[in-house]
């Protein structure tokens, strides 16, 4: 039955859904304030007072910028938690720990990039903002491909191949968008480039939402114990839990 699943199954889809809703809220607020053109528009407004609907531009002007900062900060924090849980889930299942560790490090740095994107607006701190964008998208793409490979190799509950196919397709879509976006910008085709950027972010969020498939089999607990002789760290506790539950499965 569905409700026999671990409650952690809800974390990835809730994360993806609320992040997407937050970003679209930023978009509609910017539209309402006439700061950007709708994605369905073909050109700028006649007086040239609004911009193409890139995500960073939508989140550049208050009050949309305030919402954008909150969304990106929360998305980075919860995304990091998901990456850590995924790391412990795979820690005693994967033969090559380097892949698991590098995946966690890459996504963690990408989450840092998300905070830079959200807190340093494009028109005021362009270099820092673009650095954060490169970190989030570049390392995020790497994370997706590594996780797709790990999914197939580890094959949790004999679901690895089916889930890996979905993740490879999503990773391919993300990579295509990553390549197409700068090409469209270089050709000064701005409106299709903006649509490509929105599609890229949505594919990322869908990818992260797929971790619900594996999370439904696992519980993640943090145990606090008092032991003066040998204090137990959080990471040790999670590791032991992951090992014991791997044996049970």
**pLDDT tens by residue, the chain, 249 residues:** 445 778 889 999 999 999 999 999 999 999 999 999 999 987 654 445 689 999 999 999 999 999 999 999 999 999 999 999 999 999 989 888 999 999 999 999 999 999 999 999 999 999 999 999 999 999 999 999 999 999 999 998 888 899 999 999 999 999 999 999 999 999 989 999 999 999 999 999 999 999 999 998 888 877 778 876 554 444 444 444 445 444 444
Neighbours of 140 (CB within 10 A): 24
**230 and 148 in a common domain:** no
The counts of H helices and E strands in the chain are: 9, 0
**Do both 241 and 163 map to the same domain?**
no
Domain that holds residue 241: 221-249
* Total Cβ atoms within 10 A of residue 29: 21
Gyration radius from the chain CA atoms: 20
Whether the Cβ atoms of residue 211 and residue 82 lie closer than 8 Å to each other: yes
How far apart, in whole angstroms, are the C-alpha atoms of residue 205 and residue 199? 10
Same domain flag for 117 and 202: yes
Greatest distance between any 2 Cα atoms in the chain: 73
Say if residue 148 is in the same domain as residue 166.
Answer: yes
In three-state secondary structure terms, 1 is: coil
Length of the chain counted residue by residue: 249
- Looking at the structure, tell me whether residues 181 and 228 fall in a common domain: no
- How many independent structural domains does the chain possess? 2
Instruction: Identify whether residues 29 and 96 lie together within a single domain.
Output: yes
């Amino acid at each position: 039955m569905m409700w026999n699943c671990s409650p952690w199954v809800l974390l990835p889809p809730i994360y993806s859904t609320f992040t997407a809703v937050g970003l679209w809220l930023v978009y509609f607020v910017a539209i309402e304030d006439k700061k950007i053109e709708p994605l369905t528009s073909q050109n700028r407004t006649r007086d040239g007072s609004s911009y193409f609907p890139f995500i960073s531009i939508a989140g550049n002007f208050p009050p949309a910028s305030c919402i954008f900062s909150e969304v990106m900060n929360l998305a980075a924090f919860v995304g990091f938690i998901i990456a850590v849980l995924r790391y412990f889930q795979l820690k005693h299942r994967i033969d090559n720990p380097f892949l698991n560790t590098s995946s966690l490090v890459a996504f963690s740095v990408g989450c840092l990039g998300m905070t830079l994107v959200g807190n340093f607006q494009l028109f005021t701190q362009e270099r820092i903002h673009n650095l954060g964008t490169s970190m989030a998208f570049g390392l995020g793409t790497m994370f997706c491909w590594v996780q797709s490979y790990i999914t197939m190799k580890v094959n949790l509950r004999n679901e690895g191949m089916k889930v890996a196919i979905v993740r490879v397709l999503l990773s391919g879509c993300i990579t295509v968008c990553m390549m197409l976006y700068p090409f469209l910008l270089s050709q000064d085709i701005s409106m299709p480039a903006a649509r490509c950027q929105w599609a890229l972010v949505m594919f990322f969020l869908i990818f992260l939402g797929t971790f619900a498939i594996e999370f439904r089999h696992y519980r993640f607990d943090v145990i606090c114990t008092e032991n003066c002789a040998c204090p137990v760290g959080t990471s040790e506790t999670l590791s032991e839990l992951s090992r014991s539950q791997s044996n049970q499965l």
